[in-house]
Every structure is written in C-alpha cells, then in structure tokens.
Structure 1
C-alpha cells in the first residue's frame, strides 16, 4: 500500500521561475511522469505532477469523472504553478498531451510539449464506445500481440495503471479529442511534439494532424524509434528528458518563455 500511494501521489519539486506542469495519461497516474519530473528538477526547473480526477483509485471511481473534470484539474495545475513561477509549460503524455494542447488553446500556458497525444486512437473499436455504453460498463486492456510488443519495448518500471477502462471514460475522451482538435488553430505558444513509432495505443498519424493544425507556431516534431506508448518510461526515457530540457533551455534563451 505504501508503494501504491507513492505511485499515485502528485509531486512538486520547487526550482526556478519556469514551471513545468506534468500531466499523466488516461487511466494512468503520476507514476508515468515522475522519472521525467525528477530529471527536470535536477536541471533546476520547477516541476508539478498532478493526479487527474478518478485516477489512482479504482476504475469505478474513474467512471464518475470525465473530460470536463480532467480539464479543470489541468487548469488548476497551471494556477498552482503561477503562484511561484513567471512562466508555465505544459508537458503531457497521451491524454495528458491532449490536456496540454487544451491549455494552449485557452492561452493559459507559455509553451507546450505533447507526447503521443491522441487525435486518432489505434484501436478502432474505441470509436463505438458510445454505442456499447448501454450494455458494457468496463472493458479490459488489450492483450493483443501489438500490446505485448509495446510492453517489451519498455523496461520494468513501477507504474500504477488500471487494468480495466470505464466505457463512459472512453466516450468522454473521444469528446475531448474532438473539442481540442477543433480549436488547435488557436495555439500561439512554442510547441514540441513527440511521437513513438511503436505506439499501439495512439495512431502515430496523430502527431502530423497536430503539426498541421498548429503550423502557425512552427512546432518541432520528434519521433522516437524504440519506444512504446508510455514514452516517459520507455528505453529512450533519458533522451526524452534531455530533449525536454533542451526545449525549455533554448526557448528561455530566445526569450519566448
């Protein structure tokens, strides 16, 4: 229980006046972002890793929450960082990346880094979540050969994640994707977009959809050849941390952060 509490607990590492808001993915927890957060803290950045509503507990609790709750959580994280930081950069994985894009469409953050943010989900069955909702409340995580391959691309790392997903949550996620996608043209802050080649949760075409929608800010796009969906815990995680740090450092040096 003590280990589980640590995996799901939010974290805050005080540093300089640039705040990094770290947002985990759908059905995940801050454990997905902690290694990245610890790495950024060593470089002196202020780091806040939040826990999204309904996560870190049970799938039943997650079923009671939705996109609007998760968006409010992300917006609250920005407000928290603004208490001590002049600048806030959103850094999100998967749905966390989607929430980071959401924050940028509202003009709430000064820079964004999205990692495997969904515009198109790889499993086509997720598109029919609304149709099956009256009959099925939860679905199990995929056990396909692709999912197995993805897991092999990641070292054994402690992570708390649900093994069942509430169908209501999938319906809400799909709604969030549509909403954010329709507003991407409003983004005007520096952006770094990351995508894993071995991502079998989010269709890798998602990153190019985002890039084209926010071409007004000339985003940098980086593909990771050997990582699965959970990029922050994969075999290239140390290089990912360095790329995030470089983006922050170079943006600050240019005066855009």
Structure 2
C-alpha cells in the first residue's frame, strides 16, 4: 500500500533568517520530523524537512542508496536554506543526527541538535550484518514492542511512515558511516545540543556519552529524556522537546547577533 503522501513528502515552512534543517532517520521518512517542524514554524523559524534518498517509497528503492547519497541530500538542504537564512542549524533524529554531526564536522552549519544519534546500535546483530550479506538482501526490524517502546504512544504509529524491512547494504553503509563520523567529531566547532532517550531500544544510550567526549572544541549541552523511546520527536515528551529546540535556537541567534 502506498504511504500517505503527507507522511513522506518533504516540507518547507518560511520564517525568519534562522534556518532549521530537519533530517529524519534510517529507514524512516519526513513524517518523523513534521510535527517538530510545525512547532518550530509557529515559533517563527524557517524550517526545511528533507527526504533522504530511497526513503518514503519502498525498501527496494532504499536498497539502491547509501550513506554518500544521504550526505549529499543533507548538504543540498543546507545550500537551499542558505539562500534565505544567515544561520543554519542541523536538527536530526537517529541517523539524521549522525548526518547533522557530519555537516558540523565539515563546518557547513552554525549549530547542531541531535536526537538519539547512533554511535552504538542497541541490537548487537546489526554490527555483524555484513556476515549475512551473501545470504540475504533485507532484514526485518527487531520487535520493539516492549513497554519502553510503547511509551512513544499511538501518535508515533499514526503520524510516522517507516520500513519494516531494512536493506542489508544500507545497514552496512550506516555502520561504516558511524565509524567515519565518530573519527571526525573532534572537528566540530559550532554550538551543540545532544538529546538522548534513556528508554531507546534502537540506539544504545551510551552513544550520547561517546559523542559528548569526542567533541572537544566546544562543550555540548546534553539532555536526557526519561519517558520517550527512539522516536523522540513523536514521543510523550515531544512538546517539551520542541521547547528545548526553540530555546537553543534563541540562544544561538542571540549570540550570533
């Protein structure tokens, strides 16, 4: 069944001269970021929510894309925002957070907010997925139906589109990208806000500590969320998350004026 168009389409909300680049996660879609984008737009910020290559269509389409494609998508989003904004902030969920870290390590953005960005994936099997490459093209997502994941509530189910099957090659590419970005974190110089859900069953929460320690040129702000699962932007604390993002943007804008 074709996903609802609103869930998978990118979105662009004009606002002031501070641009927010919203980047969804691996195998997800812009639907993960739309609610946050709508909130930020009401606060007056310019918002661009991109759709990464191969996402929001079919797992077969995603199987044709790699980290290099997703990085190009993110860099193109920055260029688009630069047309009207003097400040651009990368705001990413999961792999979207990894992409935001990548952009920051290249000096392409002026601030960064990550939400459950991966340095260590919770499911150990994902680290050895290359071993099954000769035998499988796709793997099923692990069952995350525990009480911790249910904390994301019905909102996540209603408003989000993502794949239940994951391309093995895409997962291999993600694992390589995690290692690549990790080695470059020391190059980040812009203000950083790191968010991590303590009940995350997809990304090991130790990831935020690794990122914090590797970023040495600035002192990141770290926020832990106690009630949310992996999809922090649609979880029970989503409104508080939006307020903290707005607070970060206001302080960043004030300091740059």
1:75-116 CA-partner distances (Å, limit 9, x unpaired): 000000001101100000000000000000000000000000
- Work out the CA distance in 1 between the residues paired with 2:196 and 2:226: 9
* TM-score, structure 2 as length reference: 0.96
> So what's the TM-score if we normalise by structure 1?
0.96
User: What are the ranges of 5 or more consecutive residues in structure 1 without an aligned counterpart?
Assistant: none
Distance 2:34 2:96 in 1: 14
RMSD: 1.2
1:82-101 aligned at under 5 Å gives the runs 82-101=82-101
CA distance in 2 between counterparts of 1:41 and 1:3 reads: 25
Partner-residue secondary structure (3-state), 1:254: helix
| Distance in structure 1 (CA, Å) of the matches to 2:4 and 2:181 | 32
Aligned equivalents of 1:128, 1:149: Cα separation in 2:
27
What secondary structure sits across from 2:73 in the alignment?
helix
Q: What is the match of residue 70 of structure 1?
A: 70
Structure 1 distance, partners of 2:225, 2:237, is 8
Q: Write the deviation string for residues 198-254 of structure 1: whole angstroms up to 9, x where unpaired.
A: 001000000000000113210100000000000000000000000000000011112
Q: Is 1:21 aligned with 2:21?
A: yes
| Alignment: residue pair count | 254
2:239 match = 238
Residue aligning to 1:128: 128
Which aligned runs of 4 or more in structure 1 are off by greater than 6 angstroms?
none
Q: Is the 1:147–1:200 contact (alpha carbons within 8 Å) kept by the matching residues of 2?
A: no
2:211 match: 210
Q: Which residue does 1:114 correspond to in 2?
A: 114
